[in-house]
Structure 1
């Protein structure tokens, strides 16, 4: 029988999963930010906040986060079919091919690291599913299962995912000289109401109701691979 996880252990797991030190590969992604900066279509802190809010409210909060929540619930109830369904639905909803590819690579990297860190039968099964092609292993879906395995609640798993996502993009913005370190911390704090809002909204969206509307950013993501020089994978 598994021993109950202490509150301190849960807090440590939350910090571990949301830290950029955790090697899932997500830090290599700019989600179109690098293309917009090189095209001189995004300048400074105000533009960056608009970019992040659009991504959070019109894509991440209505697709990735929805799939994560449903995958977590499936994992918590021992229903891996529900986890696979969330993965399939998110794959179908993710229209940009490069985004699907990087989500798969990041998800499989996360699964590999998690399987070496925590021992859990669901991780073993998902590794087998990845080999046989039964699951795409998209990052938000795998993150949900890993959060459950690490002993996090559904709410804490959601927050860990969002913090990791935003911190990764703010790190990209710093490397691209859009903002400095102090400005990045200010932006992170200012996004708190947006994070709270999308958490509440995502909890009420079914897999079939997922949607996204970020055409400007989607085009930037598609154009990214054609840049003459790149710091990020996408």
Structure 2
């Protein structure tokens, strides 16, 4: 039940406010139908697995052995790999809201310490690290934490697609189903990697996120 609650795509931490570059992709014609949408979302989730996903697993394991310095390193690693302002804003805004919610709902001391460090400016407070701490507090499995993160990203983007383009909700659900089926393979691919192995190459997504910051017409936040 805790997995369902904290893995809910409607968890009120602000993910509904961002499109992860999808709005610009649609405006620029890169995404224009279900096939191009699926390719775009799949690219985002695969890049997430090899960056945020690795840091999430590292932070989760660090929380299990009560190693705050290791958690902070994972947090900084996520933040420093966000190449543009919009992605940095998204991850720290959602991370902080998740921490505040966890402190109030779970009375989670580890998350409370992390939130205090965020407020002191000692660590940025990224969303995947927040998820790791919440799931470690709940004594759930690291596979579940990783799966929730990947699902949340795909769900966020596909939810945005329903508001941004002409697409049947059935097509969106079919895309989500197929991408969810790849999460186990993504976990196996990165489970043994370290923070030094975090890497991504998605220049089109990076450029689109930068374009979105200066867009004159926007439905989603930058």
Q: Would you say the 8 A contact 2:26–2:165 is kept in 1?
A: no
Q: CA deviation at 1:97?
A: 2.3
Alignment of 1:74-85 (within 5 A): 74-85=62-73
Task: Look up the SS of the partner of 2:57 in the other structure.
Answer: helix
Counterpart for residue 209 of structure 1: 197
Superposed CA deviations along residues 22-70 of structure 1, whole A, max 9, x for unmatched, are: 111112111110011112221111001110121122x201100000000
Counterpart for residue 173 of structure 1: 161
Q: Does 1:47 align with 2:36?
A: yes
TM-score, normalising length: structure 1 = 0.91
Provide the rounded CA distance (Å) in 1 between the counterparts of 2:95 and 2:18: 13
Alignment of 1:95-174 (within 5 A): 95-174=83-162
TM-score, normalising length: structure 2 = 0.95
Q: Would you say the 8 A contact 1:53–1:194 is kept in 2?
A: no
Q: CA deviation at 1:178?
A: 4.4
Q: CA deviation at 1:96?
A: 1.5
Gaps of 5+ in 2: none
Q: CA deviation at 1:150?
A: 2.5
Alignment of 1:5-84 (within 5 A): 12-57=1-46, 59-84=47-72
Count of residues paired in the alignment: 222
Provide the rounded CA distance (Å) in 2 between the counterparts of 1:19 and 1:199: 20
Provide the rounded CA distance (Å) in 2 between the counterparts of 1:202 and 1:30: 25
Provide the rounded CA distance (Å) in 2 between the counterparts of 1:190 and 1:217: 21
Provide the rounded CA distance (Å) in 1 between the counterparts of 2:49 and 2:195: 12
Q: Would you say the 8 A contact 1:36–1:42 is kept in 2?
A: yes
Provide the rounded CA distance (Å) in 2 between the counterparts of 1:208 and 1:174: 37
Q: CA deviation at 1:99?
A: 0.9
Provide the rounded CA distance (Å) in 2 between the counterparts of 1:178 and 1:191: 20
Moved over 3 A (4+): none
Q: CA deviation at 1:179?
A: 2.2
Q: Would you say the 8 A contact 1:49–1:187 is kept in 2?
A: yes
Q: Does 1:189 align with 2:177?
A: yes
Q: CA deviation at 1:174?
A: 0.8
